[in-house]
Amino acid sequence: MPDKFRVGLVQMSATPEPRENLERAIERLLQISAEGAKIVCLPELFQTQYFCQREDPALFDLAEPIPGPTTARLAEAAKRLGVVVIASLFEKRAPGIYHNTAVLIDGDGSLRGIYRKMHIPDDPLYYEKFYFTPGDLGFKAFDTEVGRVGTLVCWDQWYPEGARLTALQGAQVLFYPTAIGWHPDEKAQFGAAQFEAWQTIQRAHGIANGVYVAVVNRVGFEVGDIRGNKVQGKGLEFWGGSFLADPFGRVVAQASSDREENLVAEVDLRLLEDTRRNWPFLRDRRIDSYAPITSRFID
């Protein structure tokens, strides 16, 4: 395995047409691989606009099996370009059972594994519990051509337990495909604090675990216009801000908040080793004292 490799984060917007979004994503894979990226992550549910802004049974038709047509197209691109691809898809597992699933496709085009989003939000304009069954595969790390990595999805990023359990399986980079943005009514008062909290919690995962953290968000304003089905409402402004943080939480690259970008930055595994030697948080954990963490609340 190489000591250094470049990661690519595709910060993109979405049109109402899933097929167009897939082709745009594959074109971006071509671009970002030409910039030297060897492992590339796409935003959460990149094939569609963020349809969870409303509850509509017809939108389950957007889902597909894994493996399926989209994984086949992504595998073809990964093999042709020689890059590892991480992509969040709307998975149809069985009638009535759907997941928000990240697929990890290796540089030879093989499906290395899947991760099903564990934490499912239910907030105004983020009605994900209507669509997604909570993941049942646990937190996972995968060996790839560039190294051992883990992927979680969006709402998972707020939970240190998921980051810890993935890092403890040897993941050197935690990837977070994401779809997060501002409510128009909240942006003026809370927008800056929301963005700072979002970035801070994920930088903290890097510090606490001595790993790189790679976060890729969508960008642009959406009202959930899926295949021309417009929604009445104020919509969401996705704040972009995709970034890579090193094992001590330093942001080494960050995208803008208002435009599509390909972000490419280097991972140096020697820095990971050096950081853990000097800040040995994993060594000093009191694993004999953490059993109560499995309680909902300690009364």
* Catalytic-residue membership of 161: no
Residue in 44, 91, 128, 261 annotated catalytic: 44
Residue 136: is it exposed, middle or buried by C-beta count within 10 angstroms (0-12/13-18/19+)? exposed
Q: How far apart are CA 112 and CA 148, in angstroms?
A: 11
Q: Does the pLDDT at position 230 exceed 80?
A: no
- In the β-sheet with 84-94, what is the strand arrangement from edge to edge? 111-116, 97-105, 84-94, 39-41, 4-11, 261-268
Amino acid 58: pLDDT? 93
Supply the Cα-derived Rg of the chain in whole angstroms: 18
Half-sphere exposure of 139 (CA within 13 A, CB side): 23
- Buried b vs exposed e over 49-71: b needs ≥16 C-beta within 10 Å? bbbbbbebeebeebbbebeeebb
Amino acid 185: pLDDT? 86
Residue ranges of the domains in the chain? 4-277
Amino acid 233: pLDDT? 66
Q: What is the largest CA-CA distance in the chain?
A: 56
* Catalytic-residue membership of 52: no
Give the closest residue to 209 by CA, choosing from 252, 173, 253. Answer: 173
Question: Does the model's pTM come out above 0.85?
Answer: yes
The better pLDDT of the pair 157, 183 is held by 157
Amino acid 228: pLDDT? 57
Residue in 38, 52, 92, 117 annotated catalytic: 117
* Catalytic-residue membership of 140: no
> Per-residue pLDDT tens for 162-215?
999 999 999 999 999 999 999 888 899 999 999 999 999 999 999 999 999 999
Q: Does the pLDDT at position 133 exceed 80?
A: yes
What is the rounded average pLDDT of the residues 148-156? 98
Residue in 91, 128, 154, 222 annotated catalytic: 154
CATH code at 4-277: 3.60.110.10
Q: Does the pLDDT at position 271 exceed 90?
A: yes
Q: How far apart are CA 157 and CA 177, in angstroms?
A: 9
Instruction: Read off the pLDDT band of 229 (50, 70, 90).
Output: low
Amino acid 168: pLDDT? 98
The two counts, helices (H) then strands (E), for the chain are 5, 17
